[in-house]
């Protein structure tokens, strides 16, 4: 979806006024993939996947990646990842019963935090339908204070980071 008649639309106002305009990311940018099937209720009254639901896809691709790599135990782990910021830009509509490819990479690894970038593509399409980010801060499950990323987690995250292995 481009907005040639309204060049101001994609340019975000303050407090983001200084942000560089960025194009939708290419498939090559992502390091890990998950297939996602839309559901009937993902569509809202306009007949397209509602803007909220994209974040459910983000949550799913991130957490499933972590669980499958053995570095997240949502039921019993001592540390948990709290989401402190998320965002999404919508480039083209999606619609049930579309099937999607969700791409994931790590764009920032801090002492206690990680920032993911996610791209959603209609199955097989090269154009990115939406891209977003997701920032986790790791905290102690009980005290909810930030803790250093556990070594095993850091290793897994490095594997899908820019400049990672």
Cα(37)–Cα(35) distance, integer angstroms = 7
Which residue has tokens 């839309």? 38
CB atoms within 10 A of CB 121: 24
DSSP class of 129: E
Composition of the chain by helix, strand, coil, percent to 5: 20, 35, 50
Shortest Å, Cβ 161 to a copy of itself: 11
**Is residue 158 near a copy of itself by the rule CB under 8 A?**
no
Compare residues 4 and 124 and give the one whose CB is closer to a copy of itself: 4
**Is residue 125 near a copy of itself by the rule CB under 8 A?**
no
**Is residue 142 near a copy of itself by the rule CB under 8 A?**
no
| Site map 43..82 versus a copy of itself, x via CB under 8 A | xxxxx--xxxx-xxxxxx--xx--xx-----xx----x-x
Which residue has tokens 């949502």? 74
Stretch that binds a copy of itself, among 88-96, 118-126, 153-161 (CB under 8 A): 88-96
Shortest Å, Cβ 101 to a copy of itself: 13
């Amino acid at each position: 979806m481009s907005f040639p008649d309204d060049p101001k639309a994609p340019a975000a106002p303050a407090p983001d006024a200084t942000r560089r305009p960025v194009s939708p990311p290419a498939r090559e940018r992502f390091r890990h993939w998950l297939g996602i099937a839309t559901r009937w209720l993902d569509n809202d009254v306009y007949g397209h996947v509602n803007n909220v639901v994209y974040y459910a896809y983000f949550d799913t691709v991130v957490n499933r990646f972590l669980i499958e790599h053995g570095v997240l135990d949502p039921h019993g782990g001592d540390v948990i990842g709290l989401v402190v910021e998320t965002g999404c830009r919508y480039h083209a509509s999606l619609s049930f019963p579309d099937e999607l490819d969700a791409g994931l990479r790590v764009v920032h690894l801090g002492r206690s935090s990680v920032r993911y970038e996610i791209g959603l593509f209609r199955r097989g399409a090269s154009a990115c339908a939406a891209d977003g980010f997701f920032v986790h801060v790791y905290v102690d499950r009980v005290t909810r204070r930030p803790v250093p990323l556990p070594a095993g987690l850091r290793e897994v995250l490095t594997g899908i980071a820019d400049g990672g292995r």
